[in-house]
Chains A and B, each alone.
Chain A
Amino acid sequence: MIGQRVLRVEDKRFLRGEGRYVADIALPFMREAYVLRSPQPHAKIVSFDASAALALEGVDAVYTAADLPASLTPIPCRIPTHGDMTPFLQYPLARDVVRFVGEPIAVIVASSRALAEDAAELVAIEFEPLPVVADAAAALDPATPKMYPPGNIATQWGFDLGKVDDAFAQADIVVEKSFSIQRHSAMPLETRGLIASYDKARSYLEVWGPTKVPHTNRAMLARMLGMRDGDIRFAEPDVGGSFGARGEFYPEDIFIPYFAMKLGKPIRWIEDRQEHFASINHSRECTFDVKASANKDGRITAFDVVLVADLGAYIRTHGDVVPSHAAASFPGPYAIRNYRVKATAALSNKTPSGTLRAPGMFEANFAREQIIDMMAEKLGMDRAEIRRRNLIKPDEMPWYVGTQSVNRPTLFDSGDFPGLFEESVSHFGWSAPLAKGEGPVRRGRGIVALVEPSGFGPFESARIEIDPAGFATIFTGASNQGQGHETMLPQVAAEVLGIAHDRFRVRHGDTAMIPYGGGSYASRTAVMGANAVHRAALAVKAKALAAAAQMLQAKEEELTLDGGRVIVTANPSRFVTLAHIARVLTPGNAELVPAPKDFIKDDHDGLTGEVFLRAIPSGTAVFSVHMADVALDIGTGELKIERYCVSGDVGRAINPMIVEGQLVGGVAQGIGGALLEELAYDEDGNLQTGSFADYLLPSSHEVPRIEALVVEKAKSLSNDLGVKGCGEIGISGVAAVLANAIAHALGTGARPTTLPLTAERLLDLVEPRP
């Protein structure tokens, strides 16, 4: 079953409109919430008057920070950071100051969402505007007024590996360039939402809507509200995409459940799209100043990087993880020993920043891969050749970059980077001539190589239960936002147990069914979730063989598990099915464990297997190559992607169809980030992006045919299945490869260094102007 293109079992309900997303759930006596958000980027709240709103029939309550427990702390940062982030944390509802447009100030609860919105218009708030820190440049300027007593910089850190200054002094060439990546976000098609319901008498709070890391966030809610973990159930419904942005512990994750408890009725909050633009974690906004050196033979000798990230108004649960990853992994798949980086996490009056698919890596690849092209140009060397000469070789694995991010060493456990590189270059036909441009059209070709750290721990769990009818249930600690886990995980178990994959069901994301779970991010479901399921299946197999040996009066080594049956290898007519074994192993069944005569004793615990796996901290690493041909109209700035190929060494593809889907979909999302998407602010800190008419997602017209080359060259050496994951490599190299192809098309040394690559920006690069 592993390696087969099994069609997804979850598709049927989605295609029939029977998916159950959070907005599709309703509870008796449920009320609807609207979150009143700050229209001000930075201001004191001078007065707040909700009396007119409360007078409206059907309005239950208008809650503010004063209605939250007085002891409530700000939302903690849950990921290790560089330094103390305490001064920059956000309270779930603003107390006396708001620091970004969209910061929650009040929650209006009413009989309908429409009524709650009507009521919001009757709330009178008086603000006293404060000076705005518009961006990172302003944050770094000592003359800018301080948002916080310590200032406008959350933290600074760095690495200084090898002898960078010596390398520059001795190098044959040195190049320098600055790069700027725009603020954008994951933008899943389903907005966020929550339903919270509290059974006060039984002390049981149920919350539907959490995803990505439900167990982690349940623990945070329990800690912040002084509740017991076991008194809270987080349940993941169907989820319309996450791409990294749904796992923060958001302000709503605290106050919606709390106010449901306070009101004594279920509350549903469904974000609208305009709200989403201001309230989902933003991401990516940063600049890189890069200096790099190489010798005449193309050997890169050093990188020196200044990274400044604009993390917005508060540090939230994900801390400085995005620039942290970028700083730790900037050298990419190349054998670079002289590396220096100075990183700054700056604060500004914008929506707080968090993760987005390939966090920090999309950004770093954009800068590094352009610098490498600049060195190739300066050396007069082919752009594939310079990469070839610097890739980490198989015999250099495992490769420790020498950096750490969130307390994890940046370490590549395995890889045949040159092998996949050559296969990709050859598949694409890198050396084949480009079609000539006609009229104002200039054609160019780009190539980038990258490595994506993946499969982070710390742990994952899986439990498999076989019932007496031979059906199986997998309980996974991983969560699901559309990736196909309900199909992929059964494939892994089916491989071991020989039960058809469609006899499995997968339960996920529900803390009432699953005691511990790590969730889904960084391709960890393939790496950690699938390996946990694999070992749980092996545990079921061991238990089945032991029971079958008793049932068949044979030795275990004489038995084989095949096609859902345990057979006597030498005499296949003698067998028992897993269903039969499950029946025998049901607690209370007397066939193998007769009732004791005079004292209680242990019983069977079903045909089940349960495992908890610990990951190595560095996870594994996925190598990928992107290549593209573009046609740029230097009269209009219009860019056409004429060919796009992404390759990835995923170690082992559990379901190649799903892997290809991740790669192609990742590229499409990357095209958005490279060419279209921007959360734009004016100089006064006002968010200018309010709808999909302003924030352009790639449509069927913008995404070209994308070739995905999935290879299984170098299995991961840090897990049983050898898998490496595939969620991030598709998006990670898109801006980089398109920029390199555009620079090649221009052929003048001009280079697109600022994202997104709009027609206007590309026209500015054309010299002389036609």
Chain B
Amino acid sequence: MTTRDVSFTLNGRPATLTVEPRQTLADAVRQHLGLTGTHLGCEHGVCGACTVLLDGDAIRGCLMLAVQAESLSITTIEGASPPEGLGVIQDAMQRHHALQCGFCSPGMVLALEALFAHTPCPGEDEIREAISGNLCRCTGYQPIVAAALSVAEKNRANLGAAAPSA
């Protein structure tokens, strides 16, 4: 099997990998770099467990080939987490019991990171839409939505922004 080199920014640092052209981005970060926080739940692009950020947008790590990442910036859950402890969204998810088995959680955190990056104070409908491509089998989503709403509330207080109609 032929291989190719691919260079991209991974979690803020330059990375060069030698991969098979058919290898997915999710497999590449897991197998070549040991970044196993990117989970594979379906490999069909449906469940969202493999969500990573591509230049800040949430994408499926299982639907993108590693070679397509050339020159792009990828953030996995390892890069999105603070060096110690929990980030704002992660902390809210813990406080609202927004996870049980934890398998969907990294993808869920990143889907919410992408949402909050451009919508600091989302309403419930926007939150449900943002995580609608991330399946969770344990929680029924309710506490995830509640966690995200609490972050929105905090952002609103910090920004002094008006509540969105949603």
Instruction: List the interface of chain A (C-beta within 8 A of B).
Output: 7-8, 10-21, 23-24, 114-115, 187-191, 238-241, 243, 272-273, 481-484, 657-658, 660-661, 664-665, 667-669, 691-693, 697-701, 703, 705-706
Report the bound CA distance from A703 to B35 in whole Å.
31
- Indicate if the CB atoms of A273 and B128 lie closer than 8 Å: no
In the bound assembly, the distance between CA atoms of A490 and B84 in angstroms comes to 24
Minimum CB–CB distance for A515 against chain B, Å: 26
Decide: A700 near B131, CB < 8 A? Known: A482-B102, A668-B140: yes
Which single residue of chain B is at the shortest CB-CB distance from A57?
A: B1
Chain A contacts for B128, CB-based, 8 A: 700-701
* Contact, CB under 8 Å: B43 / A273: yes
7 sampled A-B residue pairs with Cβ under 8 A: A14-B102, A23-B40, A664-B139, A665-B137, A668-B139, A700-B127, A706-B140
CB distance A15 to B86 under 8 Å? yes
**A706: B residues at CB distance < 8 A:** 140, 142
Partner of A665, one of B76, B102, B138: B138
B44 adjacent to A16 (CB under 8 Å) = no
Q: How large is the interface on B (under 10, 10 to 19, 20 to 34, 35 or more residues)?
A: 35 or more
Query: Are A188 and B137 in contact, CB atoms less than 8 angstroms apart?
Result: yes
- B114 at interface by CB-CB < 8 Å: no
Given contacts A241-B101, A661-B97, 16 further A-B contacts (CB under 8 A): A7-B97, A12-B94, A15-B94, A17-B76, A17-B81, A17-B105, A21-B103, A188-B137, A189-B103, A189-B138, A273-B41, A482-B138, A667-B140, A668-B140, A700-B132, A706-B140
Indicate if the CB atoms of B102 and A693 lie closer than 8 Å: no
Closest 3 CB pairs of A and B: A17-B37, A14-B102, A482-B101
- Residues of B contacting A: mostly: loop
Chain B 86-113 interface residues, beta-carbon cutoff 8 Å to A: 86, 90, 93-95, 97, 99-106, 109
Q: Is the CB of A17 within 8 A of B103?
A: no
Partner pick for B140 among A657, A658, A665, CB 8 A cutoff: A665
Secondary structure call for the A interface: loop
User: Which residues of B pack against A, CB within 8 Å?
Assistant: 1, 20, 22-23, 30, 35-44, 46-47, 49, 76-78, 81, 85-86, 90, 93-95, 97, 99-106, 109, 127-129, 131-145
B135 touching A665, Cβ below 8 Å: no
Interface residue from B41, B137, B143 paired with A669 (Cβ < 8 Å)? B137
Chain B residues contacting A705 (CB-CB under 8 Å) are: 142
> How many pairs of A and B residues are in contact by the CB < 8 Å rule?
172
User: For the complex, what is the distance from the CA of A635 to the CA of B43, rounded to whole Å?
Assistant: 36
> In the complex the two chains form, what is the Cα distance from A418 to B118 in whole Å?
51
Please indicate which of the listed interface residues B22, B81, B97 has the most CB atoms of chain A within 10 Å of its own CB: B97
Known contacts A16-B81, A697-B135, A664 near B102 by CB under 8 Å: no
Among A191, A240, A668, the most chain B Cβ lie within 10 Å of the Cβ of A240
Q: Which residue in A114, A273, A483 is a CB contact (below 8 Å) of B100? A: A483
State which of A17, A483, A703 has its C-beta within 8 Å of the C-beta of B78: A17
Closest to B95 in A: A7
Query: Contacting A661 at CB < 8 Å: which of B41, B100, B135, B145?
Result: B100
Given contacts A14-B99, A482-B102, A665-B138, contact A114 B46 (CB under 8 A): no
A273 adjacent to B137 (CB under 8 Å): no
Contacting pair B77 A16 (CB below 8 A)? yes
Q: How far apart are the CA atoms of A524 and B143 in the complex, in Å?
A: 25
**Across the interface, which residues of A come within 8 angstroms of B77, CB to CB?**
16-17
Contact A188/B101 with A17-B76, A692-B42 known, Cβ cut-off 8 Å: yes
Q: Contact between A7 and B101 (Cβ–Cβ < 8 Å)?
A: no
Residue of A nearest to B81 (CB): A16
Query: Quick check: A15 and B103 within 8 Å, CB to CB?
Result: no
Task: Name the B residues within 8 Å of A16 (CB-CB).
Answer: 37, 77-78, 81, 86, 90
Q: Which of B94, B133, B137 contacts A243 (CB 8 A)?
A: B137
In whole angstroms, how far apart are the Cα atoms of A667 and B140 in the complex? 7
Query: How far does the alpha carbon of A121 sit from the alpha carbon of B10 in the complex, in Å?
Result: 35
- The answer to whether B135 touches A699 (Cβ under 8 A) is yes
Contact with B135, one of A14, A189, A658 (Cβ below 8 angstroms) = A189
